């Protein structure tokens, strides 16, 4: 009795553990018949855990037939666990044959399946997925799925998705999505995003989002040398969250050559607040500092403890 015949008998066992072990053993065989046997398990076994494991093991066989079986199970299996496994498996297959199945899965009734489909589209790295991912970013009811869409658009370097990412940054009610949109906009490097990022850095209610916007704006400061943008960055030094003002300060520091003239000019401003943040920026750009020295000081007293001159 050869191995395949033996395993075929085991796959017919009523004992779940025997079938489970047989699936793993079959997946080790470099034999087209083995792929057919696993595909049959995926489509017909009564146990959803075994079907889900089989979907992942089928990635050992990079054939058009296997992709077809995975897409059918992704569409038709009644359990989200199995459909999710199929979506994950398709991310490791050939993009030309698996893309359409994953795009269809973006409308799956399960958020877990939709999220897995977005993650797999990121692995496939195919720009044909961008329009559908934009639809997910702006329309999926689950925030984690929208978050994955923003991350995937960043990885795909989808410049055409910039308007959608701006909309997500300014309008999404979930801070994780806004955070991912801010990071993506910074990485995409489109100069038109500076205004919405600056507004977000100052006004967003979540400190993590403001932090991401401050970091993202650092990519644009030297390129634009825009005094109004630099002044906005200066105001971020007054943020009550240390991570935010650290990010703003680092962004200013990395573009010091274009920032310093604006900082110096700000000392002539009638605005006390602008003069205050300009002093903070000057100390950041020209001196080291130690946060511990600031503990116990009021804002007015902190000027003398902010740093020391080099």
Q: How far apart are CA 173 and CA 83, in angstroms?
A: 29
SS3 helix, strand, coil % of the chain, rounded to 5? 75, 0, 20
pLDDT value of position 302: 43
Secondary structure (DSSP) of 127-173: GGGHHHHHHHHHH-S-HHHHHHHHHHHHHTT-GGGHHHHHHHHHH-S
pLDDT value of position 10: 84
pLDDT value of position 37: 92
Among the residue ranges 23-37, 111-125, 165-179, 196-210, the one predicted with the least confidence is 23-37
pLDDT value of position 2: 57
**Cα 276–Cα 249–Cα 169 angle in degrees, nearest 5:** 105
H or E element at residue 44: helix 32-44
Distance between start and end Cα atoms, the chain: 82
Q: How far apart are CA 182 and CA 196, in angstroms?
A: 9
pLDDT in tens, 58-71: 999 988 999 999 99
Asked whether 150 and 168 are in contact (CB, 8 A), the reply is: yes
Res. 304: pLDDT tops 50: no
Res. 150: pLDDT tops 80: yes
Q: Which of residues 293 and 39 earns the better pLDDT score?
A: 39
pLDDT in tens, 70-92: 999 999 999 999 999 999 999 99
Q: How far apart are CA 157 and CA 273, in angstroms?
A: 38
Asked whether 161 and 137 are in contact (CB, 8 A), the reply is: yes
- pLDDT-derived band at 36, boundaries 50, 70, 90: very high
Instruction: Reduce the DSSP state of residue 174 to 3 states and report it.
Output: coil
Percentage of the residues of the chain whose pLDDT score is greater than 70:
91
- pLDDT-derived band at 132, boundaries 50, 70, 90: very high
H or E element at residue 282: helix 272-286
Res. 310: pLDDT tops 60: no
pLDDT value of position 218: 85
Res. 15: pLDDT tops 80: yes
Report how far apart, in Å, the C-alpha atoms of 85 and of each of 49, 82, 212, 222 are.
Answer: 10, 5, 32, 45
Mean pLDDT of the chain, nearest integer: 88
pLDDT value of position 94: 87
pLDDT value of position 291: 46
CA 82 to chain centre: 24
pLDDT in tens, 204-255: 999 999 999 999 998 887 777 788 888 888 988 888 898 998 898 888 888 7
Cα dihedral 218/224/227/232 (nearest 10): -30
Q: How far apart are CA 247 and CA 185, in angstroms?
A: 16
pLDDT value of position 308: 30
Contacts of 201 (CB under 8 A, 6+ apart): 210, 213, 214, 217, 232, 233, 236, 244, 248
- pLDDT-derived band at 280, boundaries 50, 70, 90: confident
Asked whether 283 and 304 are in contact (CB, 8 A), the reply is: no
């Amino acid at each position: 009795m050869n191995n395949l015949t033996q395993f075929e008998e085991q796959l017919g066992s009523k004992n779940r553990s025997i079938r489970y072990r047989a699936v793993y053993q079959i997946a080790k065989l470099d034999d087209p018949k083995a792929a057919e046997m696993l595909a049959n398990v995926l489509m017909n076994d009564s146990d959803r855990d075994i079907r889900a494991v089989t979907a992942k093991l089928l990635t050992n066989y990079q054939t058009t037939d296997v992709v077809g079986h995975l897409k059918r199970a992704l569409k038709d299996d009644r359990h989200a666990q199995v459909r999710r496994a199929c979506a994950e498996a398709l991310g490791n297959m050939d993009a030309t044959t698996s893309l359409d199945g994953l795009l269809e899965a973006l409308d799956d009734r399960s958020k877990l399946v939709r999220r897995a489909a977005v993650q797999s589209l990121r692995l496939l790295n195919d720009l044909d997925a961008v329009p559908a991912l934009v639809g997910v970013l702006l329309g999926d009811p689950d925030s984690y799925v929208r978050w994955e869409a923003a991350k995937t658009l960043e990885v795909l370097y989808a410049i055409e998705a910039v308007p959608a990412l701006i909309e997500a940054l300014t309008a999404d009610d979930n801070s994780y999505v806004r955070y991912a949109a801010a990071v993506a906009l910074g990485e995409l490097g489109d100069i038109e995003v500076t205004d919405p990022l600056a507004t977000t850095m100052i006004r967003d209610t979540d400190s993590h989002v403001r932090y991401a916007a401050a970091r993202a704006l650092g990519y644009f400061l030297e390129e634009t040398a825009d005094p109004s943008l630099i002044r906005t960055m200066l105001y971020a030094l007054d943020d009550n969250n240390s991570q935010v003002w650290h990010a703003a300060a680092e962004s200013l520091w990395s573009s010091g050559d274009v920032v310093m003239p604006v900082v110096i000019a700000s000392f002539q401003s009638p605005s006390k607040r602008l003069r205050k943040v300009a002093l903070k920026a000057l100390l950041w750009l020209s001196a080291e500092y130690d946060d511990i020295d600031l503990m116990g000081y009021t804002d007015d007293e902190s000027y003398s403890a902010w740093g020391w001159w080099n």
